[in-house]
Each structure stands twice: as C-alpha cells, then as structure tokens.
Copies of this chain bind each other. A is one copy, B any other.
Amino acid sequence: MESPAGRTPAPGALPYYVAFSQLLGLTVVAVTGAWLGAYRGGIAWESALQFNVHPLCMIIGLVFLQGDALLVYRVFRNEAKRTTKILHGLLHVLAFVIALVGLVAVFDYHRKKGIADLYSLHSWCGILVFVLFLAQWLVGLGFFLFPGASFSLRSRYRPQHVFFGAAIFLLSVGTALLGLKEALLFQLGTKYSAFESEGVLANVLGLLLVAFGAVVLYILTRADWKRPLQAEEQALSMDFKTLTEGDSPSSQ
C-alpha cells in the first residue's frame, strides 16, 4: 500500500465512510431546517423567530463544520501538511463565527423576552464547549501554525490536541441533544408523550446527530486510516530520530 516517494492511495473503505458521514451531516442540517420551518415558523432576526437562529447555527457550526474540520487529515491525505493544517484551522474559524451568531441570537432573544440566561444544563455545557473550543484553537495555532514550537514539543502536544478535539466535538453533539430535548419539552409539554409528529421528527433528528457523531469518531479513530507521512515529512522525521535516538512521532 505505502509508497513513500509518491502518493499513498486512500484505504479502500475510507471514501465510503467519509461520503456516509457527509450524507448524515447534511441530513442533520436539512432536518433541523425542516423542523424549524414546519413546526417553529421558520427563521428571522427581528422577531420572536430570532430564537430559531440558535439551533440552526449551532448545528451547522459546532456539529457539521466542526466534524468536517476534524476529518480533513483523513480526506486530504496527500496534500502538504501545512495546507491541510490551514484548512483545518479555517474550518474551525468558520464554525466558530457561525456558532457565535447562534450564541448572540439566543442571548438577544432572552434579553428581549426577559428570560434568564445560563440556568440550564444545556447552557452550562454550551459555555463549556465555547471556552474549550476557543482555548483549543488558540493553543493549536500557537503550537502548529506559528513557527516557534519545536518539532519535539509539537509531537508531545499532538495527541492531547487530537483527544481534546474529539472530546469537544462529542460534547458539542451532546449539548445539541440537550438543547433539542429542552426545546421539545418547553413547546410540547405533555403532548410529547402522545407521539406528536414534531416530537417524533425531533427524536429522529436526535438519532441522526448521534449517528453523525459516531461515524466521525469511527473515521478519526481507525488506526489504519490515519494520514500517512509524506516523503519530505518522513525525511524530517528520520533526521529527528537520528538526532534524538528517540521514537519518531506518529502522523496526525
């Protein structure tokens, strides 16, 4: 399979799993839109519909785009590492900006309606996601994109960055599930237990969110699907190995 001097072909099943993850992710976004359109009156900034901006932006930013940002090292296997890193960082910026719009929407809606902020488990988890996301992005930028950090420092930080990236993504999916549940119980109340169509649709959306999270995690954790070292990175890694007589770091 491996040919250090040229392009490494993607493992056989990887493209199908990536395609499936994209199908799931786009379905999640579409079903969220359909739910808000069919049962919640759609979306607008200057009205009571402002609340609906919140779930849509969070699903697009912190679930779909964040998930895709984690997959770039599996999808763009043969691009230069630096190009892939920049794409990874930029997708996170896009995810963050969209999520910020969603965050402003819900605080603004609460302010106009006189509803208390940050009392629920959903909101506590959401703030935790935001703080961790921002910290992870800044630390990642410092270690991997600025030239200051040494090769050995990067190698030691990389596994932590990967773990926290996956954990923040999973917490985002969990927080979305809590928010969905909250929106259902506030709106439907006891009608939820009568299998109202909105409740069933939202439950299906919840399972789709779980499935998207699971497939992204599966692609990320398959050891044989990790990005192979490119020829020039292998040379660098070998030089480093010779210098330190330690182990070469695994690729991200």
Contact = CB atoms under 8 A, between A and B. Distances in A.
B119 A195 contact: yes
Given A116-B194, A177-B174, A193-B116, A121 B221 contact: no
Interface residues of A, number: 41
A174 B193 CA distance: 21
A192 B119 contact: yes
Contact of A178 (B177, B192, B202): B177
A94 interface: no
A128 interface: yes
A129 to B, nearest CB: 10
Contacts of A195: 116, 119
A73 to B, nearest CB: 16
Given A167-B218, A171-B214, 6 more contacts: A119-B194, A124-B203, A163-B222, A171-B210, A177-B177, A223-B250
Interface stretch (A31-39, A143-151, A180-188, A236-244): A180-188
B217 A121 contact: no
Nearest to A191: B119
A61 interface: no
A48 interface: no
Contact of A121 (B120, B122, B181): B181
A171 to B, nearest CB: 7
A252 to B, nearest CB: 13
B180 A181 contact: no
A115 B195 CA distance: 12
Interface string A132-173: 000000000000000000000000000100010001001101
12 contacts: A119-B192, A119-B194, A122-B181, A125-B207, A159-B222, A163-B218, A167-B217, A171-B210, A173-B174, A177-B177, A181-B185, A185-B185
A228 interface: no
Given A182-B185, A218-B163, A221-B163, A210 B125 contact: yes
A120 B196 CA distance: 11
Contacts of A202: 121
A207 to B, nearest CB: 6
A102 interface: no
